[in-house]
Amino acid sequence: MSTNSRATPAATHADDILRLVDPAGTLNEEAAAGMLDVTDELVRALYRDMVLGRRFDQEAYSLQRQGELGLWLMSLGQEAAQAGSIRALRADDRVFPSYREHVAALCRGISPAELLSQWRGASHGSWDPERYHFHIYSLVLATQTLHAVGYAMGVRYDAGDSVVFTYFGDGASSQGDANEALNWAAVTSAPIVFFCQNNGWAISTPASKQYAGPLSERAKGFGLDAVSVDGNDVLAVYAATQRMAERVRTGGAPGFIEAHTYRMSGHSTSDDPGRYRDSAELARWEAHDPVERVRLLLTARGWADEDYFAAVASDAEELAAQTRRECRAIAEPSLSDTFRNTLCEETEALRREREGFETFEESFL
């Protein structure tokens, strides 16, 4: 069993990490006052986002185990990092996700069917990025960081005031693409915020084996404005993202947010985390559960009662049922579409091959 366990948020350069709500649900009113208008409406809305996102993730995991999906990459434990960040952005801010941002995608209005189609093997990406201002998932590690910088340069050239926001993990930060993206963003002053969900593990490689110093410090070395935040504290994430996005929007240097969180499940449904991390580490992080933290805050403040929590739970079960229905209703892909989608425009040779295949296929129907 691995002994290279990663520290809890409180023990990882604690003096430098922004936290507004502790694991017991206690709000640091003095710290929050200078950063965020904490209202009952805001906290309830973020709680609902997190609960629904977690329930969707659990249902997708179950569907994969039932053979309905080929693979699933879970977001369990990272709900605060995603809900807090995406809700702090403007609707026209462009988002470039990796492959685990299911909570953020749901917040942008992407449906269960659109999210699951790729994992069912029915499409390469089934939602319209222009409609949601949310790019399709990128499965090649860190490639979306370069796509995001390129798009942000276009925003700058067009004199727009939207911000580009890209998600990636601590493992992706070790890729050359990510480092090139950080450097090029700084050199071109691109209006972009990099959001690293540092969940402690690059599949089975712990953070301690990836880098010796904080990722936020590395970003500063490239010339970015960087902060660290407790990624399991949804209000701290919301505040940090809102402030960073608005600073970049008004002409500041590109931003970098390192959100310290934890992947409470495996890297994917093909991964067994018990082979490389111990149960004690998981137990420590379960005590920092992001959803329970907000529930405790709502209860302590008298901002929600059991009827509210029951209503949110009911909504989550409705989403789970919708997810099952939509997943099983996804149409099987047609092999003839492969010919159409191989190139941007179908060539004459590909057209002849497709028509020949379709004629051959019809003879067996």
267 annotated active-site: yes
List, in sequence order, every beta strand (DSSP E) within the chain: 17-18, 94-96, 164-169, 192-198, 201-202, 205-206, 225-230, 255-260
DSSP 92-115: TSEEE--S--HHHHHHTT--HHHH
- Do the beta carbons of residue 259 and residue 231 sit within 8 Å? yes
Catalytic residue among 54, 87, 108, 263: 263
276 annotated active-site: yes
238 annotated active-site: no
Per DSSP, 1 falls in state -
Catalytic residue among 19, 108, 260, 267: 267
Nearest in space to 326 (alpha carbons), one of 55, 125, 60: 60
**Radius of gyration, CA atoms only, the chain:** 21
Q: Where are the alpha helices (DSSP H) in 259-305?
A: 279-286, 290-301
Identity of residue 360: F
Instruction: Copy the structure tokens of residue 11.
Output: 């023990």
Active-site residue numbers?
263, 267, 276
